[in-house]
Amino acid sequence: AQSVTQLDSHVSVSEGTPVLLRCNYSSSYSPSLFWYVQHPNKGLQLLLKYTSAATLVKGINGFEAEFKKSETSFHLTKPSAHMSDAAEYFCVGENYGGSQGNLIFGKGTKLSVKP
């Protein structure tokens, strides 16, 4: 991916409602894409990754993401938010042969979950 755009800097949902975190990418080829989660004062942890196998990717903690080439999107979803999902989420693209160690990070989306 040559660029990765997370469309929302902050998303707020109520506990038990669906979560949608949006990510768009630009690439001249089919990229590898990842979602990472960062809980407060922690490092980043891989949620899931897409590497040109199945377009619907299931990750940890009930999250999943669908690669849609026609829309150049890789949105992260979860059917029912839990309080423990409150964290920052980063969409990351593989930039084969590019700089920055071949990885392009989105700017992050902070997810708040209200009781």
Partner 1 sequence: GAGVSQSPSNKVTEKGKDVELRCDPISGHTALYWYRQSLGQGLEFLIYFQGNSAPDKSGLPSDRFSAERTGGSVSTLTIQRTQQEDSAVYLCASRRFWEGNTGELFFGEGSRLTVL
What residue ranges bind partner 1 (CB under 8 A)? Answer: 32, 34, 36, 41-46, 49, 90, 92, 94, 99-103, 105-108
Structure tokens at 66: 């669908």
Closest CB 2 distance from partner 1, rounded Å = 15
Closer to partner 1 by CB, 82 or 107: give it.
Answer: 107
Pick 46 or 83: Cβ nearer partner 1: 46
Contact 77, 65 (CB under 8 A): yes
For 65, the enclosing helix (H) or strand (E) is: strand 64-68
Instruction: Report the residue number, 34 or 74, with the smaller CB distance to partner 1.
Output: 34
Structure tokens that stand for 49 in this block? 């990754």
Burial category of 5 from C-beta neighbours within 10 Å (exposed 0-12, middle 13-18, buried 19 and up): middle
CB of 75 to partner 1, least distance (A): 18
Closest distance of CB 66 from partner 1, Å? 19
